[in-house]
Chains A and B, each alone.
Chain A
C-alpha cells in the first residue's frame, strides 16, 4: 500500500513564476491537508480539502495561493507569482476521516525561490 506521494520533491522557481505542488493521498483516503514548514519552524496548517471541496482554508495566505482536490487526480497546491518568502517545505497529509484519525504525511516538496 503506497504512502502519500508528493511531487516534485524539489522545485526551483524564479521570483514571479508559478509553482504547482502535487499530492496523491493514500489509497482509501479522501481527506487531504497541506502544511508549510519554514526553516527552524514547526509545520503550519494551510488548507484542508475533501474531494472537490475546500473545507477549511483559514491557514492559506489570501493572495497568490490556491488549492484544489478534484474528483480525479491528485490534490494541487498552486502558488502564483512566487516570492523569496515562499521558500519552504510543503507537506501534504491524508487521512480516512477527521478528528482522531491519523494523518499520514508525504515526503514533502522543497520549494526554493531564487
Chain B
C-alpha cells in the first residue's frame, strides 16, 4: 500500500532563511508526487507536481522539489522564506492506476511559521 510520511508537523524559520519540508513515500510502483499548500480556512492549492521527466520540479512562489527514487523522497525547498509562506504544506502521492485511479494519498502536513 502507498503511504506518505512528512517529517515534522511544525517548522519555524526566520524570514529569509531556507525552507526545507521533508516528504518520503512508500510505493511499489513509480508514483506521481504532489505538494499542496493550505492557508487557514481555505482549500488546497497545488504548488508543484512530478509525473515523469526531469526530477527537479519548479513550482509557484519560488518553491521547488526534487524526486529522488533511491531515497523515496520528494522534499520541498525554498531558498528564502517570506512571511506570506506561513501555511500548512501537504505532500501527496498517486499511483494512478487500478483501483485508486489517481486518488491522492496525503501526508499529515507540516505547518510552517515564519518569524520576522
Name the residue of chain A whose CB is nearest to the CB of B100.
A56
Minimum CB–CB distance for A31 against chain B, Å: 8
Stretch at the interface among A12-20, A39-47, A63-71, A73-81: A39-47
Interface on chain B toward A: helix, strand, loop, or mixed SS? loop
Q: Is the CB of B101 within 8 A of A56?
A: yes
Scan residues 85-116 of chain B and give those whose CB is less than 8 A from a CB of chain A. Answer: 90, 94, 96-97, 99-109
Q: Is the CB of A42 within 8 A of B90?
A: yes
A18 to B41, CA, bound (A): 23
A-B interface pairs (CB < 8 A), number: 75
- CB neighbours (8 Å) of B90 from chain A are 42-43
Q: Is the CB of A45 within 8 A of B105?
A: yes
Name the residue of chain B whose CB is nearest to the CB of A45.
B103
**Given A42-B90, A48-B101, A56-B103, A91 and B44 contact (CB-CB distance below 8 Å):** yes
Name the residue of chain B whose CB is nearest to the CB of A59.
B103
Name the residue of chain A whose CB is nearest to the CB of B91.
A42
Q: Is the CB of B42 within 8 A of A107?
A: yes
Q: Which of A44, A91, A98, A110 has a CB less than 8 Å from the CB of B96?
A: A98
Chain A residues proximal to chain B, CB less than 8 Å = 4, 6, 31, 33, 35, 40-45, 48, 55-56, 58-59, 91, 93, 95, 97-108, 110
